[in-house]
Amino acid sequence: MLTQIKGLHHVTSMAGDAQENNDFFTRTLGMRRVKKTVNFDDPEVYHLYYGDKSGTPGSVMTYFPFPHIVQGRPGAGEVGDTYFAVPAGSLPYWKERLSGLGVGGLEEYEAFGEKRLRLKGPDGDGFSLVETTDDERLGWSAGGVGTAEAIQGFRGAAFRLQDAGGTGELLRFMNYHEVERSGNWTRFAIEGGNGADVIDIEEVPSAGHARQGAGSVHHIAFAVENRAAQLEVRQALLDTGYQVTPVIDRDYFWAIYFRTPGGILFEVATNEPGFDRDEDTAHLGEALKLPTRYEQFRSQIEDILTPIRD
């Protein structure tokens, strides 16, 4: 069992319009933009990061906004809803706020003993706000949402799979334990995790395959403390038969990637060095930060990227 993994690090999705994406997370959900950079593999596209005050691992939602991307099609083999933790008793506030701002797909429901509010992002992204009673993480309260309601970070995520068996086995290997079943849903959790530590699998044998596009999760990343722990995890995955990439420097963390039996792309990312490695915490997400190899092309990149109004 990979005890080095404590929960989620970040979730990365795809969007259509960068400004609309930025406004939804910073103004509607009240999260902080903690980094404005570019897609390391396609520097003509932004990579935007949203989270708590410092971009704590387990709080960060990230996006690649491609201006002409096709719409994603929901289906099997993908991350469905991403869960955000909010303080107990705050869902009425969120329902009123989101309804007033015209957010679509609002639906109150309960699952695994949790009160939740489902909502859709601007590209049809699936999210749920989940009330928690024992989460001591503090959300970003300078974005128009008070401390008593602010998003505390991730609670976890839901996977939609034709067959849950292989991915369930993988999650058990990754320090998750099966804690409950309800109909075609199975919940996995890490005991003593980082708060962003539950995964729910919905088994949908007859569902068609998802098509990635705007509103789709590109990959989901799990957190380890440092590079030494990451190398241990990588070797254990290789020994188990997974095809794992070499370690890749993403400036704010180191990353490895592999594909799950259900088709979802997993990443294992380090908590180090963090988003303050090139910006003071008080000014996170303000300037366009470029990887070193692209710095010489800054003027060309800035000419291509549409400026984001804060």
pLDDT digits (tens, 9 = 90+) for 34-76: 999 999 999 999 999 999 999 999 999 999 999 999 999 999 9
3-state secondary structure of 122: coil
State residue 143's pLDDT score.
82
> Across all residues in the chain, what is the average pLDDT?
97
Is the torsion defined by CA of 198, 192, 267, 70 positive or negative?
positive
Kindly state the average pLDDT of the residues 129-148: 94
Kindly state the average pLDDT of the residues 214-223: 98
Whether the pLDDT of residue 287 is over 90: the answer is yes
Q: How far is CA 280 from CA 82, 253, 306, in A?
A: 29, 17, 24
Tell me phi and psi for residue 306, to 5 degrees: -75, 125
State residue 122's pLDDT score.
97
Tell me phi and psi for residue 96, to 5 degrees: -65, -45
Q: Where are the beta strands (DSSP E) in the chain?
A: 8-15, 32-39, 42-51, 60-65, 78-87, 107-111, 114-120, 126-132, 153-161, 177-182, 185-189, 198-203, 217-224, 248-249, 253-259, 265-273
Q: How far apart are CA 7 and CA 58, in angstroms?
A: 7
Contact (CB, 8 A) for 10 and 52: no
State residue 117's pLDDT score.
98
Whether the pLDDT of residue 144 is over 90: the answer is no
Kindly state the average pLDDT of the residues 6-29: 98
State residue 62's pLDDT score.
98
Query: In the structure, what pLDDT confidence band is assigned to residue 142 with cuts at 50, 70 and 90?
Result: confident
Is the torsion defined by CA of 119, 123, 124, 127 positive or negative?
negative
Kindly state the average pLDDT of the residues 161-186: 98
- % of the chain at pLDDT higher than 90: 98
- % of the chain at pLDDT higher than 70: 100
Kindly state the average pLDDT of the residues 25-30: 98
State residue 152's pLDDT score.
98
